[in-house]
Amino acid sequence: MLSEVLPTALNGLVWAMSVFLVASGLTLIFGILHILNFSHGGFVMIGAYLAFTVTNRVPGTASVAAFLGIAVACAVAVGAMGLVVDRVVFRRLKGVDDSYSLVATYALLLLCEGAVKSGWGGNFLSMSPPEGLGGALFVGDLFVPSYALFVIAAGVAVYLALDLWLHRTASGRILKSVALDPWMASLLGINVTAIFTVAVVAGFALAGLAGGLLAPNQSLSPALGGTYIIQAFGVIIVGGIGNVRGAFLAAVLLGLVDAFGTVYVPEFPGIFFFVAVAVIILFRPQGLLSGIR
Amino acid sequence: MLELSGINAFYGQSHVLHDISLRLADGAGVAVVGLNGMGKSTLLKSIMGAGPTVRGPVRLDGQDLDRLAPHRRARLGLALVPEDRRIYPHLTVAENLALAGHAGTAARPPYTVEEVLAFFPLLRRLAGRKGFQLSGGEQQLAAVARAVLARPRFLLLDEPTEGLAPLIVDAMGTEIRALRARDGMGLLLAEQNVEFARACTEHVLVLNVGSIAFSGSWAAFDADPAIRDRHLSL
Ligand SMILES: Nc1ncnc2c1ncn2[C@@H]1O[C@H](COP(=O)(O)OP(=O)(O)OP(=O)(O)O)[C@@H](O)[C@H]1O
Ligand SMILES: [Mg+2]
């Protein structure tokens, strides 16, 4: 019995941090612009495809350092796409009904899928983790793939960096103030449009980073955009939509519930995630934490 | 010089301000009085470009502000304290004040938080408190102080005394007069408290359903008690 607890917990945490990496940018953008970006998964997918191409085309990219460098480059590239999306789409969504955001960002998702189909084709592609993360480690007497530990560490690192940014820096304070009351912020001399752009670029960069970090051990296909996105939506809703800290807590909670549920009730794999989301929303409709945090 | 030449303001289809003209010289003080719903707040927001749709020119030193976003107007030296204060609850008083530094420029550097706390001694012991821990009156004081931090050329105050204890009203009046004397700051003050308005300004403008019913010195205002009877409830 106990021998199952640790590996199950690890599985749950890998799931949690993968989903958190995807959810972080989604919840950041919602927290500040109040736009639910349905295309977020599409941009994660583009990040993953970019990482795939660079890794395969450029020689000498098998090291862990190169893998990280490529993920950061994906973040920069997708962040730049965020700049364009902000200018062309998001700025027009201010002050209009939410249904317009839904349609516009869903259209963007279709655009991402189309771009991937025409750029990379519809076949399944895959890439392996870099050499340093291809093996496995012993944690106690448990045999753990090093890439799994890496994903956990990456999720925690991204969470800590975001939390520090939002809570401990002057620019984070401005971001939060604009999220709470953009009208007053503009009266105080803050260029609110520019702050919104910063948030969108950061959110898209997080999508690109997630794509780059999660590309290994993934079947890349134009459907990848939808792979994590349901879970990411579950996590940000349970966490308190717009709340990065809440998303992190919710990811861990839902990851563990789902992993243990699947081990102990194998007849219904994957159902515990949905059950947990439904139960939590029933008792705390505003999510675990609320407001941008 | 802040100058409005026949502006009209709208909220969607509803036409709220009608042909308002107003000149506020540097360092001058004008009170805007009138009953509830007559358009005082709309006038101040129109000058900031922060809400109503405005037709007609608002000029600062001859420059048309028409196309400028509120933050650009703030950086040109206009500061509005809205009637609902809008102190950020998650920030301390000092952090709230510091935010207004964004409206400062090299030519018109903002005050430091320390300097502003020296102007408003009542705020000093509250500097470390979060916005959500302040009483309504304390929030009002903080909101005025925050606007002052940017060292505005024209301060637009929307009913700053509403809900304040008489003693605090007096203190605020003293501070505002002192600031005007020190900086030559212009003041446009929307008020229902006529005594406070008189103590802080030289001129008065009476709004009646979005139009100017009277404009002149306080002496002229006092000379015609009918204006007061008709347009102000006492
Ligand atoms: N956001 C808005 N949308 C539509 N109409 C509005 C809006 N704000 C104000 N109004 C209307 O515009 C008119 C003027 O309102 P305004 O707030 O300027 O009055 P006021 O003189 O400041 O009143 P008070 O003394 O109560 O603050 C009122 O009839 C009000 O109902
Ligand atoms: Mg008003």
> What are the angstrom distances between the C-alpha of B154 and each of A285, B30, B47, B81, B115?
45, 11, 11, 11, 19
Chain A CB within 8 Å of residue B80 CB: yes
Please judge whether B103 and A185 are an interchain contact, meaning their C-beta atoms are less than 8 angstroms apart. Answer: no
Q: Give the mean pLDDT of chain B.
A: 93
Across the A:B interface, residue pairs with CB atoms under 8 Å apart total: 61
- Closest ligand 1 atom to residue B35 Cα is 25
Among the partner-chain residues B48, B89, B101, the one whose CB lies closest to the CB of A187 is: B48
* A21 or A267, which is more confident: A21
Structure confidence by residue, pLDDT tens digits, A227-254: 888 899 999 999 988 899 999 999 999 9
**Angle formed at CA A260 by CA A257 and CA A266, multiple of 5 degrees:** 120
Q: Which band of pLDDT confidence, cut at 50, 70 and 90, is reported for residue A2? A: low
Structure confidence by residue, pLDDT tens digits, A162-178: 999 998 999 999 999 99
Mean pLDDT across B189-195: 92
Please judge whether A187 and B99 are an interchain contact, meaning their C-beta atoms are less than 8 angstroms apart. Answer: no
**How many secondary structure helices (H) and strands (E) does chain B include?**
10, 11
Q: Which band of pLDDT confidence, cut at 50, 70 and 90, is reported for residue A206? A: very high
Element spanning A71, H or E? helix A64-88
Cβ-based neighbour number of residue A114 at 10 Å = 12
> Considering only CB atoms, which chain A residues are within 8 Å of B132?
none
Tokens of A227: 């792979």
Residues B116/B148, Cβ–Cβ less than 8 Å: yes
- Predicted confidence at residue A137, as pLDDT, reads 86
Mean pLDDT across B116-125: 92
Residues A293/A172, Cβ–Cβ less than 8 Å: no
Distance from CA of B233 to the nearest CA of A (A): 31
Lowest mean pLDDT among A77-81, A207-211, B196-200: B196-200
> Considering only CB atoms, which chain B residues are within 8 Å of A193?
69
* Cα of B39 from ligand 2 centre, angstroms: 7
A247/A21 Cα distance (integer angstroms):
10
Q: Give the mean pLDDT of chain A.
A: 92
Instruction: Name the percent of chain A lying above pLDDT 70.
Output: 98
Q: Which band of pLDDT confidence, cut at 50, 70 and 90, is reported for residue A21? A: very high
CA A279 to the chain's CA centroid: 23
Distance from CA of A186 to the nearest CA of B (A): 5
Q: Which band of pLDDT confidence, cut at 50, 70 and 90, is reported for residue A134? A: confident
B34/B159 Cα distance (integer angstroms):
11
Q: Is the pLDDT of residue A196 over 80?
A: yes
- Predicted confidence at residue B2, as pLDDT, reads 95
> What are the angstrom distances between the C-alpha of B85 and each of A238, B90, B143, B145?
33, 14, 6, 11
Beta strands in A37-182 (DSSP E): 136-139, 142-145
Among the partner-chain residues A180, A189, A193, the one whose CB lies closest to the CB of B74 is: A189
Among the partner-chain residues B48, B95, B102, the one whose CB lies closest to the CB of A190 is: B102
**Number of domains composing chain B:** 1
SS3 content of chain A, % helix, strand, coil (to 5): 75, 5, 25
Chain B CB within 8 Å of residue A194 CB: no
A243/A31 Cα distance (integer angstroms):
6
A134/A118 Cα distance (integer angstroms):
30
- Predicted confidence at residue B100, as pLDDT, reads 96
Any ligand 1 atom below 6 A from CB of B42: yes
Structure confidence by residue, pLDDT tens digits, B143-171: 999 999 999 999 999 999 988 888 889 88
Chain A CB within 8 Å of residue B108 CB: no
Structure confidence by residue, pLDDT tens digits, B30-89: 999 999 999 999 999 999 999 999 999 999 999 999 999 999 999 999 999 999 999 999
* Cα of B41 from ligand 2 centre, angstroms: 4
B80/B148 Cα distance (integer angstroms):
10
- Predicted confidence at residue B234, as pLDDT, reads 55
Q: What is the ipTM of this complex?
A: 0.94
What is the CATH number assigned to the segment(s) A2-119+127-283? Answer: 1.10.3470
> Considering only CB atoms, which chain A residues are within 8 Å of B90?
176-177, 180
Domain layout of chain A by residue ranges: 2-119+127-283
Q: Is the pLDDT of residue A99 over 60?
A: yes
Q: Which domain holds residue B155?
A: 2-231
Q: Residue B167 is part of a domain; what is its CATH number? A: 3.40.50.300
Residues constituting chain A: 293
Amino acid identity, residue B101? G
CA A175 to the chain's CA centroid: 19
Chain B CB within 8 Å of residue A183 CB: yes
